[in-house]
Amino acid sequence: MRVALAEKGVAEVAGRVHNPRILEYHSTTTLAAKSDEVAWCASFVNWCLEQVGIRGIRSARAADWGKFGAALAEPRYGCIVHIYRKPRGVDGATGSSSGNHVAFFVGQTATHIQLLGGNQKDRVRISSYPLDQYTVKAMRWPEGR
């Protein structure tokens, strides 16, 4: 979480110029996108893990994180959370057209889950997602950590 928290505020650049930090996130995936307009939540998670010596999945697809590491029955601060928006459609909060998003767990109330992630309103930030609009598909922790 130390690495992810230090990235808070990194944001997309409007127009034809792209934020080099977001392109660096993308470089840790097999997609290696050259634009900060391409969904980058999974790239951010992968980059954060690699900064602390944990090999990620190298996929830019949020849903693929549901197979990473070990499953958790209960959330743990900093765990990787895969959420799915219902109903499916372009999500203004995450920019996802697939309905999938991945980020790090910060906290939860009876009605919301708080996640720290990339591509949350086009930046790295902590966002609160209503549980009546999002399904938690997976909570994962790196194996052996």
Range of the structural domain that residue 123 is part of: 2-141
Do residues 61 and 135 make contact, with C-beta atoms less than 8 angstroms apart? Answer: no
Please tell me the distance from the alpha carbon of residue 27 to that of residue 18, in angstroms, as a whole number: 14
- What is the reported pLDDT for 144? 77
CB 108 within 8 A of CB 81: no
Entry pTM: 0.92
CATH no. for residue 59?
3.90.1720
**pLDDT tens figures, 4-33:** 999 999 999 988 899 999 999 999 999 988
For the chain, how many structural domains are there in total? 1
Q: For residue range 41-93, what is the model confidence (pLDDT) as tens digits?
A: 999 999 999 999 999 999 999 999 999 999 999 999 999 999 998 866 656 66
